[in-house]
Every structure is written in C-alpha cells, then in structure tokens.
C-alpha cells in the first residue's frame, strides 16, 4: 500500500483524502541533520555525508561526502552544522568555511573556501547569497545577508541585524535566533527571527521587491518551555562539554521568535511557528503574494536544535508533507508522509487528519 501511495504522488496523481503513513524505516541513518526531496530521490545530510534513497523502494542508492579538512572534505561542527542545497541537477554541501559542489551521482565537481564565517551560503544570480557572521569589537554580534561574486571577493550587504548574544556581557539567548533566507524562482526570501511576521523579498540584483507580513501574536516563553529546553540542552554533547561559565551565559527571552523554520516550494511559503497542539506543530501556508491560504498542524517538526541554520527534517512537495522521525526506543529513523489538501483563500485551519478547525477570513492580502 505504501509503495502505491508514493508512486501516485511521484506521478502527480491527485489523492482526494488526507492521511499520514510511514513509508519506510531507514536503518542507515544515525544522526540526520537535514533532508530534501529532488525528483524521485530523498537526500539526507548527516554531518558531511549525503545519503540518497530511492522514493520508489526506499533503498539506499549511494552515499558521498567525507568529514575532514582535506580536499573534498568538510569540517563537521556541532555548533555550526553543515547544510546542503540541491539545484540544476547538482548538490552543494557547505560548512561555515567551505563549500563543495557534487553531481547528483556524487561526483565532486568543485570546492571553494568561504573567506568569512557563513551561517548560510547558496548559489544566487551570478554568484552567491550568504548569511555572514560578524563579531564586533565590543563583544556584540551581527548577521549580514550579503550577495557575493563567484570568488567571494566582492560582496554587498542587503540586510543586517544584531544578534542577542554578547560575549563581553556573557549573554547567550535561547532559543538561538538569527536571520536566514530561502531561494525560490530567482528571488531571495529573508526571514528575520528578531522581527514580527515579516518576510523581505529581493531579486538577484539585491533590490528589495516587497515585504510580506501577517498579523501574529508572539508567544511568551513559558516555564514549561524553559524546563523542556534545559532538559534537552543538558543531553547535547556540545552543551555537556561546555564550561560552567558558558552554561551560565544562557538565558531566555520574554517572547519566542515568530519563525521557527520555513520553506518556499510549489509556489507557496510554508512557515513553521513555535505554536503546537496535541503534539503537532503549526504551519502558516501563504501564496507568493503573501496571502494566507491555510494553517496546518503537522507532526514530526517539533525538534529542539541549537543551530543558526534553518535546515530541517521535513519537506513539502506536490501538496505532500514528508518528514523524518526518530523512534527513540528502536533507535531508528523513518520516512513519513502526510497528504495535505490546500483550499486557496479559504483560511481553514486544519489538523493532522485534514479536518477544518476554524475559519480565518484570509481574503485580505498582507502584501506591502
């Protein structure tokens, strides 16, 4: 049955019902940090290695990429995990200081050093877009969204904001908030976790085209959130190995960021917030003009991560939500899917079973 379901999805056959299904167990995975779907394959990044699975029979087809500091290798840093970008039948894997371009078959095509600390870097226009980290002389930090040429020799800042962390003041805010972007159809969508529900859209020349916004009431940090976060942090290797002085720097803000993760795909913007209900996570679904289509509550996205990159273990493709989920008891990862039926401009809030919960009256466009 599962193979029939996924085959219909790949072929684009519409399914008139909404349901969730575990598609396959993937025993090859140990600590995945990011996933994506391209054509009929699942790509999973684990440290510096990419594992590619068939979406027809879920077998592992190939793995490539090595951890290290030599040619064709990437550093694996738990505080700055690697990420990947699939485009034009190529896959780029990058660390904070280096990028490697592979063919889909896993052949290394080229590699390049990044001359600054990069939280994010992706091909864009004639060069690259990147989120650059800068430590100021007073101990404060900034993140800059920059456009660079192919050699990273010239760059132009198109967006910037200050981080809440300050080493001289011994302050590290949790959850870690930053600025990140997504690229879709020659446009760059900037998501600032320090701002309200606002998405800035740029063209390949770095000109701001528009700002997308939505009314949203930010969530307060609760004692329950603090306890769950601290319990999670205490078992993380990077936190456990940190000095007590570093641990004492952590503090919680009054409010949570609006954006948790986001993706732009299928002519839609999918924004995960920090809202949850019955173990499901809230997603705003917008069209590219910023109009709210629906709110969805979906499984498998509620994962604590202490990382400045927006990599996630889920992907939206063809009105289908794919996600990786860990079975803690079995110590095994599985690929799951949930078919979602979006009803443009109805504003229906839906739960995991596709049942409408309420109407939002979203006919209004919040495009500015």
What is the DSSP code (8-state) at residue 341? -
The per-residue pLDDT for 19 is 52
Q: What is the secondary structure of 254-319 as a DSSP string?
A: SB--S-SEEEEETTEEEEEEEEEETTEEEEEEEETTS-EEEEEEESS-------SS---SEEEETT
The per-residue pLDDT for 192 is 95
The per-residue pLDDT for 231 is 87
**CA-CA-CA-CA dihedral for 271, 274, 276, 280, to nearest 10:** 50
The per-residue pLDDT for 236 is 76
Q: CB–CB of 291/161 below 8 Å?
A: no
pTM: 0.86
Instruction: Give me the residue spans of the domains in the chain.
Output: 2-359
Among the residue ranges 40-44, 125-129, 292-296, 302-306, the one predicted with the least confidence is: 302-306
The per-residue pLDDT for 359 is 30
pLDDT score of 358 more than 50:
no
Q: For the domain covering 2-359, report its CATH number.
A: 2.120.10.30
Percent of the chain with pLDDT over 70: 85
Give the residue with greater pLDDT, 270 vs 309.
270
Average pLDDT, stretch 64-78? 90
For residue 187, what are its two tokens? 């446009």
Q: Mind listing the pLDDT tens digit for each residue in 255-274?
A: 999 999 999 999 999 999 99
Task: Name, in order, each residue with C-beta under 8 angstroms of 358's C-beta and a sequence gap of 6 or more.
Answer: 348, 349
Q: Mind listing the pLDDT tens digit for each residue in 138-149?
A: 878 899 999 999
């Amino acid at each position: 049955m599962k193979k029939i379901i996924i085959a219909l999805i790949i072929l684009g056959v519409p399914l008139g019902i909404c349901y969730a299904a575990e598609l396959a167990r993937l025993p090859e995975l140990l600590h995945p940090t990011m996933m994506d779907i391209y054509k009929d394959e699942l790509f999973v990044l684990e440290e510096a290695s990419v594992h590619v699975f068939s979406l027809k029979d879920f077998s592992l087809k190939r793995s490539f990429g090595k951890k290290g500091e030599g040619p064709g290798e990437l550093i694996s840093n738990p505080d700055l995990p690697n990420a990947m970008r699939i485009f034009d039948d190529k896959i780029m894997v990058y660390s904070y200081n280096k990028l490697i371009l592979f063919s889909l078959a896993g052949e290394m095509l080229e590699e390049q050093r990044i001359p600054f600390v990069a939280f994010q870097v992706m091909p864009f226009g004639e060069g690259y877009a990147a989120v650059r980290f800068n430590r100021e002389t007073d101990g404060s930090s900034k993140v800059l969204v920059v456009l660079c040429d192919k050699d990273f020799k010239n760059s132009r800042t198109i967006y910037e904001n200050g981080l809440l962390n300050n080493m001289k003041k011994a302050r590290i805010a949790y959850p870690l908030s930053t600025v990140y972007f997504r690229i879709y159809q020659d446009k760059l969508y900037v998501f600032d976790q320090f701002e309200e529900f606002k998405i800035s859209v740029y063209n390949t020349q770095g000109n701001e085209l528009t700002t997308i916004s939505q009314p949203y009431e930010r969530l307060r940090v609760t004692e329950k959130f603090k306890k769950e976060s601290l319990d999670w942090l205490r078992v993380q290797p990077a936190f456990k190995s940190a000095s007590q002085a570093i641990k004492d720097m952590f503090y919680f803000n009054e409010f949570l960021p609006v954006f948790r993760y986001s993706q732009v795909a299928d002519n839609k913007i999918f924004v995960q917030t920090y809202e949850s209900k019955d173990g499901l996570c809230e997603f705003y679904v917008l069209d590219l003009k910023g109009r709210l289509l629906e709110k969805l509550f979906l499984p498998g996205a509620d994962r604590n991560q202490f990382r400045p990159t927006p990599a996630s273990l889920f992907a939206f493709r063809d009105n289908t939500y794919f996600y990786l989920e860990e079975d803690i008891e079995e110590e095994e990862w599985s690929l799951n899917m949930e078919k979602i039926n979006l009803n443009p401009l109805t504003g229906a809030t839906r739960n995991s079973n596709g049942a409408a919960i309420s109407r939002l009256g979203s006919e209004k466009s919040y495009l500015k």
